[in-house]
Amino acid sequence: MIIVMERGTERSKAETLMAQLKEQGLEPVPLFGVERTVIAVIGEERNLNVSHLESMPGVAKVMRVVQPFKLVSRETQPKPTVVEVNGVKIGSKELAVIAGPCSVESEEQMEAAAAPLAKAGIKLLRGGAFKPRTGPYAFQGLGADGLKIMRKVADKHKMAVVTEILDTRDIDLIASYTDVIQIGARNMQNFTLLKEVGKTKKAVILKRGLSATIEEFLMAAEYILSEGNPNVILCERGIRTFEQYVRNTLPLATVPRVKELSHLPIIVDPSHGTGKPRLIGPMAKASIAAGADGLMIEVHANPQEALSDGSQALLPDQFAKLLEELKPLAKVMGKTIK
């Protein structure tokens, strides 16, 4: 950390500050210039509070040298993390494709989506049993019954289950049915929930919050890793902006930027990222081109009747066609879709 003192500040102020830093186990190295004093601080700067330091007498500016996150950082671990689920190595040369309906509605509905997906080679089946809806009157999901349906249908087709958790009280129940726990956009900063999934060893898909910065996104992942669970997959799902012609704005620069900053795999959800079936294909392709490790796409056999997000669902046939279009593109990017 670099601390720049205000112009003309007395040396005593810098000395008081340095004494305090030493008390915290850090090593301040001062540079007394003609106009200003600059203090380089050696040691674990992540424990220091920047705003607190900036409010100290005589301090003009405080600059971090390292990122505020540590365990998720590429600096800490240069080698990419690979999370293996049902034989799919997420974060490797293999492109992971997760597909399925927004919500679990019935066994018939799950079967109608899962069967064609399995036939297309999809190994990771998504579906929400606990749904984070904007209002309390919308379909909230089937809860425990939904989990049972998911597991049954996934097992039948040798698929893994990806499902969302909303509440820490459901952790044991959900963990007993699912292979991957999803933390949705609305819960990205539910720190209690992040810590709870961090205590499990299950793979976790952490979706970016609607208005979260990349730093906040990575700090949320840091919570999970700091509890001992390294199996985190980040998911860019679009952010809220002033734009009205798409459901969310899908910032694909997140993918290469996160790859510079972190070793964690990152996938893209072009379904929530656009909200429109005809935009899913182009953005899925763009995601692969941007270097994404995978995709999460909503598929429903009868979108008109869907209880949530029907308006953005692809039909199984549309999905299978898109998957074929994605394969040569993945190859160009040095990846494969099995």
Interacting stretch for ligand PEP, rule CB under 6 A, among 149-157, 182-190, 216-224, 250-258?
182-190
Q: Is 102 in the site for ligand PEP (CB under 6 A)?
A: yes
Going by the DSSP 8-state scheme, the letter that residue 79 receives in this structure is S
Show contacts with Mn ion in window 293-332 (CB under 5 A): 309
For residue 82, what are its two tokens?
């690979």
For residue 104, what are its two tokens?
């679990």
Q: Is 300 in the site for ligand PEP (CB under 6 A)?
A: no
Report the partner that residue 184 touches, choosing among ligand PEP, Mn ion, none (CB closer than 5 to 8 A by kind): ligand PEP
The CA distances from residue 199 to 60, 177, 224, 227, 231, in Å, are: 41, 17, 8, 6, 11
Sole binder of Mn ion in the list 102, 125, 150, 188 (CB under 5 A)? 102
The CA distances from residue 325 to 93, 113, 319, 321, in Å, are: 18, 20, 10, 7
Rounded to a whole number of angstroms, the minimum distance from the CB of residue 102 to ligand PEP is 5
Q: How many residues does the chain have?
A: 338
Rounded to a whole number of angstroms, the minimum distance from the CB of residue 128 to Mn ion is 7
Q: Which is nearer to ligand PEP, 5 or 267 (CB)?
A: 267
* Rounded CA separation 298/315 (Å): 9
Show contacts with ligand PEP in window 233-252 (CB under 6 A): 237
Beta bridge partners of 172: none
Show contacts with ligand PEP in window 159-178 (CB under 6 A): none
Q: At what angle are helices 277-289 and 316-332 packed, to 10 degrees?
A: 20
Q: Is 132 in the site for ligand PEP (CB under 6 A)?
A: yes
CB 235 within 8 A of CB 206: yes
Q: Is 129 in the site for ligand PEP (CB under 6 A)?
A: no
Q: Summarize as ranges the residues that interact with ligand PEP (CB under 6 A).
A: 102, 128, 132, 184-186, 207, 237, 272
Q: Summarize as ranges the residues that interact with Mn ion (CB under 5 A).
A: 102, 309
